[in-house]
Chain A
């Protein structure tokens, strides 16, 4: 562990923390714009194929999406609680709460995998691989293309977020962060909340409308 977390080119820790937060928010903005491409494609094709999208959406198992939303929202709470422990300088509790969050993320991914598996069996697949008998309207293959792209990209972000939580949780356990300096915990939590934030929009778009 270094003597001080203050980098040579900053005047003080407060300024450094401010810079780190701003940098993280800018990064989150790029993430939002990254997802925007898929959301815009979704919006356009939903506009062009309203019936196919409504029918395909109803062909999904809504309860999986519902449970996953609850799981992710709860994991956001546990991450926030972990950050709260970090502000008190309690690294072990931070690690514990982050660990719980990672477990919730695993639940999320398991449910997602169950769902993907189901789609493979029923033929609810993207583009030219689409063989599902339930919905035959033009546009249905496009729905599943976007379904897999959006949930797939989101799942990648869940995995990245889990990795971040594991690393920061482990460092917190080692006592790397203090009540005065715990910016990395804060940034990791921010990333996780963004993953949650995006899912909050994915859930209604994919499952409900």
Chain B
């Protein structure tokens, strides 16, 4: 026997979703305006990122839970979604942890502590370009 098919998934279709949809839509619009306004204030670096990502996560959660019905659907579907997010965090986290703790000269040129970028950013040595354009 498969795990119990969530019966509330089916029951949910009998309840009207429209008020929820409209509420979520209004919330999304408000949050979009808020994040836009906050960005115009130019908070100091880390804060701007934190606030913007927090608002984006809030909006994403609203879409996933209500538009995509994860709120009504229990079990496997939620697990799949959450698991994928864990692996998103894993990849991004450990990749940045690497470059953040690296011997600075091992980072790409032009970054803090590494070699300066070669010449002008727009025009690297001509020989280099030619070499890369080899057929």
Contacts and interface: CB of A to CB of B under 8 A. Distances in A.
* Direct A–B contact present (CB less than 8 angstroms): yes
Interface of A: 14-15, 18, 21-22, 25-26, 28-29, 32-33, 36-37, 39-40, 43-44, 47-50, 54, 62, 66, 69-70, 73-74, 76-77, 79-81, 84, 87, 128, 130-131, 136-141, 179, 189-190, 193-194, 196-197, 200-201, 203-205, 207-209
B63 A43 contact: no
Given A36-B91, A62-B36, A208-B48, A80 B80 contact: no
B92 A73 contact: no
Interface string B36-79: 10110000010011001101100110011001100001001100
B88 A32 contact: yes
A77 B25 contact: yes
Contacts of B134: none
B83 interface: yes
Given A62-B39, A193-B67, A197-B63, 10 more contacts: A15-B2, A25-B81, A44-B95, A44-B99, A47-B96, A47-B99, A77-B25, A204-B35, A208-B36, A208-B38
Q: Which 3 A-B pairs have the closest CB atoms?
A: A138-B110, A138-B117, A204-B52
7 contacts: A18-B9, A43-B92, A44-B99, A50-B45, A193-B68, A197-B63, A204-B55
Contacts of A22: 76-77, 80
Contacts of A179: 13
A76 B21 CA distance: 9
Interface of B, secondary structure class, is: helix
B105 interface: no
Interface string B1-20: 01001100110010011100
Contact of B92 (A14, A32, A39, A79): A39
B112 to A, nearest CB: 8
Nearest to B73: A21
Interface of B: 2, 5-6, 9-10, 13, 16-18, 21-22, 24-25, 28-29, 32, 35-36, 38-39, 45, 48-49, 52-53, 55-56, 59-60, 63-64, 67-68, 73, 76-77, 80-81, 83-85, 87-88, 91-92, 95-96, 99-100, 107-112, 116-117, 120-122, 124, 129, 132
Contacts of A48: 99, 107-108, 111-112
Given A43-B96, A47-B96, A32 B84 contact: yes
Contact of B121 (A28, A29, A141, A197): A141
A62 B52 CA distance: 14
A190 B64 CA distance: 9
A40 B132 CA distance: 25
Nearest to B21: A80
A179 B28 CA distance: 29
Contacts of A200: 56, 59-60, 63
B109 A138 contact: yes
